Amino acid sequence: MKNVLDILFHLVSNAILVYFLLINSFYFLFVVLSLIGIFRYHRMTSYVRMKEIFSLPLAKPISIIAPAYNEGAGILESVRSLLALEYPLYEVIVVNDGSTDATLAKLIDEFELKKTNRVFRKSIDTAPVRGIYISPHEPRLVVVDKVNGRKADALNAGLNIARYPLFCAIDADSILDRDALLKVVRPFHEDPERTVGVGGVVRISNGCVVTNGQVLRVGMPRNTLARFQILEYLRAFLGGRMGMSMLNCLLIISGAFGIFRKDVAIRIGGYRKATIGEDMDLVIRLRRHLHEQKVPYRITFIPDPICWTEAPENFKVLSRQRNRWHRGLVEVLSRNLKMMFNPRYGMTGMVAMPFYLIFEMLGPVIELFGYFLFGYYVATGQINFPFTINFFLLAIVYGMLLSLTAILLEEYSLQRYPRLADVVVIAAYGILENLVYRQWLTFVRVKAYWDLVRGNKEWGVMERKGFAPERGKP
Amino acid sequence: MSSLLPILVSHALVFMLLFSIALFGFIIARRLVLKRQDAVFESRYLQIEQDVLRAISAAEDSAAVEVAERYRSRRKILTQVLIDFLDLIGGRGQAVLKVIFDCALRERCLKDLRSPFLARRLQATRLAGLLTSAPEKALLVGLLQDKPIIRLAAVNTLVQFPDEGSLALVFQAFEQESCPNIHTYTNILYGAGERIEPYVQACLKKGPPVEKLTLLIELAGVVPLPALYREVAACADHPEKEVRIKVAKALSKFLIPESYELLEKMSGDPEWEVQAQALKGLGKLKNPAALVILTRGLFSPVWHVRYNAREGLLNLGSLGIRRLEEISRQKADKFASDMASMALEDFSYSRLG
DSSP string computed for A268-305: TTSS-TT-S-HHHHHHHHHHHHHHHTT---EEEEEEEE
Band of the pLDDT at A146, cuts 50, 70, 90? very high
Q: Which residue has the higher pLDDT, B180 or A93?
A: A93
A385 touching B (Cβ < 8 Å): no
Residue A52: the pLDDT is 63
Helix (H, G, I), strand (E, B) or coil at A217: strand
Which residue of chain A is at minimal alpha-carbon distance from B3?
A: A387
Judged by average pLDDT, the poorest of A2-11, A185-194, A363-372, B250-259 is A2-11
Selected for mutation to probe chain B from A189, A261, A404 (highest B CB count within 10 Å) is: A404
CB B205 within 8 A of CB B176: no
Decide if pLDDT at A12 tops 60: yes
Contacts of A56 in chain B (CB under 8 A): 187, 190
Q: pLDDT digit string (tens) for A380-417? A: 887 778 888 888 888 888 888 888 998 998 888 877 78
Cα-based distances in Å from A353 to A32, A242, A244, A345, B173: 20, 16, 11, 10, 41
Rounded to an integer, what distance in angstroms lies between the CA atom of residue B224 and that of residue B269?
24
Pick B23's closest partner by Cβ from A48, A191, A401. Answer: A401
Least CB-CB distance to A404: which of B27, B184, B339? B27
Query: Does A415 or A140 have the greater pLDDT score?
Result: A140
- Whether residue B30 lies within 8 A of chain A, CB to CB, comes out as yes
Q: The complex's ipTM?
A: 0.80
User: What pLDDT does A447 receive?
Assistant: 93
> Given an 8 Å threshold on Cβ–Cβ distance, is B119 in contact with A46?
yes
Residue B101: what pLDDT?
87
Among B13, B183, B349, whose Cβ lies nearest the Cβ of A397?
B13
Residue B248, number of CB atoms within 10 A of its CB = 29
pLDDT of A473 higher than 50: no
Tell me, yes or no, whether A140 lies in a domain.
no
The minimal CB distance from A394 to the residues B16, B30, B346 is found for B16
Q: How confident is the model at residue B87, as a pLDDT?
A: 72
B338 in contact with chain A, both atoms CB, cutoff 8 A:
yes
Residue of A51, A57, A397 lying closest to B187 (CB–CB): A57
Largest separation between any pair of C-alpha atoms in chain B: 94
Q: Would residue A94 count as lying in a domain? A: no
| pLDDT classification of A290: cutoffs 50, 70, 90 | very high
The residues facing A97 across adjacent strands are A146
Model pLDDT, residue A5: 75
Nearest by CB: B6 against A193, A390, A407: A390
What does the alpha-carbon distance between residue B208 and residue B172 come to, in Å, rounded to a whole number?
12
Mean pLDDT, chain A, whole residue set: 87
Q: What is the mean pLDDT of residues A117-127?
A: 82
pLDDT, position A190: 76
Nearest CB neighbour to B20, from listed A44, A193, A401: A401
pLDDT score at A49: 66
**Considering the domain boundaries, does residue A240 fall inside one?**
yes
pLDDT reported for residue B352: 56
The count of CB pairs under 8 A between chains A and B is: 123
Nearest to B183 among A136, A192, A408 (CB): A192
How many angstroms separate the CA atoms of B327 and A404, rounded?
Answer: 67
Is residue A197 predicted with pLDDT exceeding 70? Answer: yes
Runs of H (alpha helix) within A380-465: 385-413, 420-432, 437-453
The residue in chain A having the minimum alpha-carbon distance to the alpha carbon of residue B343 is A118
Judged by CB atoms closer than 8 Å, whether chains meet at B190 and A56 is answered as: yes
pLDDT of B322 reads 92
Angstrom distance (rounded) from CA B253 to CA B136: 37
In percent, the amount of chain A with pLDDT more than 70 equals: 93
Please indicate, yes or no, if residue A106 is contained in any of the structural domains. Answer: no
**How many whole angstroms separate alpha carbon A392 and alpha carbon B10?**
11
Q: Is B122 on the interface with A (CB under 8 A)?
A: yes
Interface of B with A in 125-154 (CB under 8 A): 126-127, 130, 149, 152
Q: Select from B5, B122, B341 the Cβ nearest to the Cβ of A44.
A: B122
- Is the Cβ of A393 closer than 8 Å to some Cβ of chain B? yes
pLDDT at A344 over 80: yes
For A44, name the nearest residue in chain B, comparing CA atoms only.
Answer: B119
Q: What is the pLDDT of residue B1?
A: 53
Q: Specify the pTM.
A: 0.80
pLDDT of residue A471: 40
Predicted pLDDT of residue B125: 82
- Residues B31, A420: C-beta atoms closer than 8 Å: yes
Q: Higher pLDDT residue, A50 or B252?
A: B252
Residue A434 lies in a domain: yes
Query: Which A-chain residues 355-384 have CB contacts (< 8 A) with chain B?
Result: 384
| Residue A470: pLDDT band with limits 50, 70, 90 | very low
Which site among A6, A18, A190 would you substitute to test the B interface, given the most B Cβ atoms closer than 10 Å to its Cβ? A190
Interface of A with B in 44-103 (CB under 8 A): 44, 46-49, 51, 55-59
Identify how many contiguous H helices and E strands chain B contains and give both numbers. Answer: 20, 0
What is the span of the domain harbouring residue A249? 1-48+174-474
How many residues would you count in chain A?
474
Per-residue pLDDT at B350:
66
In a domain, A286, yes or no: yes
Cross-chain residue pair B183–A58, CB shorter than 8 Å = yes
Q: Do B179 and A400 touch (CB under 8 A)?
A: no
User: Touching check for B58 and chain A: CB below 8 Å?
Assistant: no
Which residues neighbour A106 within 8 Å (Cβ) at sequence distance 6 or greater? A72, A75, A76
CA-derived radius of gyration, chain A: 23
Within an 8 Å CB–CB cutoff, is residue A405 touching chain B? yes
- Specify the number of domains making up chain A: 1
* Cβ pair A394:B9 closer than 8 A: yes
pLDDT given at position A474? 31
Q: Is residue A208 part of a domain?
A: yes
> β-pairing, A166-170 with A62-68?
parallel
Cβ pair A452, A81 in contact under 8 A: no
Q: Does A78 fall in a domain? A: no
Q: What is the pLDDT along chain B (353 residues), one digit of tens a residue?
A: 567 778 888 888 899 899 999 999 999 999 899 889 999 999 999 999 999 999 988 878 888 899 999 998 888 898 888 888 877 887 788 888 888 988 888 888 888 888 888 888 888 888 887 777 666 777 777 787 787 778 878 887 887 777 777 788 888 888 877 765 677 777 777 777 888 889 899 988 888 888 889 989 988 998 889 999 999 999 999 999 989 999 999 999 898 888 899 999 999 999 999 999 999 999 888 888 889 999 999 999 888 899 899 989 998 888 899 999 999 998 888 888 988 988 888 777 666 55
Neighboring chain B residues of A398 at a CB cutoff of 8 Å: 16
Quote the minimal CA–CA distance from A282 to chain B in Å: 25
Phi, psi of B198 (to 5 degrees): -60, -30
pLDDT of residue A461: 60
Contacts of B241 by beta carbon, 8 Å cutoff, 6+ apart: B271, B273, B274
Lowest mean pLDDT among A217-226, A351-360, A414-423: A414-423
The answer to whether A189 contacts chain B (CB < 8 Å) is yes
- On chain B, the residues whose CB falls within 8 A of the CB of A400 are 20
